[in-house]
Amino acid sequence: MPSERARVVAHRGFSGAAPENTVAAVRAAIDVGADMAEVDVTLTSDGHVVCLHDEKVDRTTDGKGRITEITLEQVQDLDAGSWFSPSFAGEPIPTLDEVLEVVNGSILLNIEIKTEVVDRGIAAKVVARVREHEMVEQVMISSFSPRALFEVRKLDGTLTTASLFNRKIHRGVDPAKIIAEVGSQALNINRRFFNRSIRQRCAELEIPVGTYTANKPRHMEKLLARGVHAIYTDHPDVLLNLMAADE
């Protein structure tokens, strides 16, 4: 159910202050006081769950190639921090286990399962890791893949899931149908696609809506005025300051 105020979600960790999807970014999200950190997860060639947004490591590391074609040992040798700032040189791509250890008891965590690895059984691996750390109540799992969320719900019906709005397949579709497809408890949608009709329908059905990615104060203020339940941002500090000023 909706909380009294919008939940502040640090997108890929506090990615405005540290390299995205790293332990450093997650720690920064905790330190700034965000309500939740969000990370993307995918698989290495040898089946380990790691935190990375892209299919390739090229953009955010000093390596090249598809993450699914690189072993965990090779992944751990990559520098995932220097591209952001020299002060983060040597920051590695973390495993999901490493992130779970950091956030345990400190902050909520949204784990986004990447669609390209759903066929390789990532849903079951993610559920297993969350349960191993006894963090079912602290975690939300989201994905653009209905199949991934269906598998999560089948494996553990107590886990909270959120359906990501896919413009290509969901245009004109009732939000209730999107949610009902896999039994999710929330809808996450790009802020640019969050229109009046979706807002009204979700309000009628009491479906919590999260919007991503709002980085400019004017966008944040507009979303707050529209009563969204969560705002994903690279700059949780800016959002927190805006919300504090409105209290």
| Euclidean distance between CA atoms 181 and 183, whole angstroms | 6
In a domain, 140, yes or no: yes
Confidence of residue 12 (pLDDT cuts 50, 70, 90): very high
Of the candidate ranges 36-50, 129-143, 180-194, the one whose mean pLDDT is the lowest: 180-194
Q: Write the CB contacts of 116 (distance below 8 Å, at least 6 apart in sequence).
A: 42, 55, 68
Distance of CA 141 to the CA centre of its chain: 8
- The verdict on whether 170 is a catalytic residue reads no
In a domain, 110, yes or no: yes
Q: What percent of the chain has pLDDT over 90?
A: 85
CATH of the domain at 74: 3.20.20.190
In a domain, 176, yes or no: yes
CB atoms closer than 10 angstroms to residue 167: 10
| Euclidean distance between CA atoms 104 and 73, whole angstroms | 25
- The domain total for the chain is 1
pLDDT averaged over the chain? 95
In a domain, 2, yes or no: no
At 106 the pLDDT is 97
Confidence of residue 122 (pLDDT cuts 50, 70, 90): very high
Inter-CA distances, 30 with 25, 81, 112, 120, 185, Å: 9, 19, 18, 31, 24
Q: List the beta bridge partners of residue 230.
A: 7, 210
In a domain, 1, yes or no: no
In a domain, 32, yes or no: yes
Q: Summarize pLDDT for 172-199 with one digit per residue, the tens.
A: 888 888 888 889 999 999 999 998 888 9
Query: Which residue would you say has higher pLDDT here, 172 or 29?
Result: 29
In a domain, 59, yes or no: yes
In a domain, 152, yes or no: yes
Q: Summarize pLDDT for 91-108 with one digit per residue, the tens.
A: 999 999 999 999 999 999
- Residues 181-218 as b/e (b if ≥16 CB within 10 A, e otherwise) read ebebebbbbebeebeeebbeebeeeebbbbbbbbbeee
Q: Summarize pLDDT for 215-228 with one digit per residue, the tens.
A: 999 999 999 999 99
| Euclidean distance between CA atoms 187 and 211, whole angstroms | 9
At 2 the pLDDT is 40
| Euclidean distance between CA atoms 26 and 19, whole angstroms | 10
Residue owning tokens 């009491």: 206
- The verdict on whether 11 is a catalytic residue reads yes
Whether the predicted pLDDT of 1 surpasses 60: no
The residue from 11, 170, 229, 235 that is catalytic is: 11
Range of the domain at 145: 7-246
At 153 the pLDDT is 95
Structure tokens at 83: 């591209």
The residue from 48, 53, 133, 219 that is catalytic is: 53
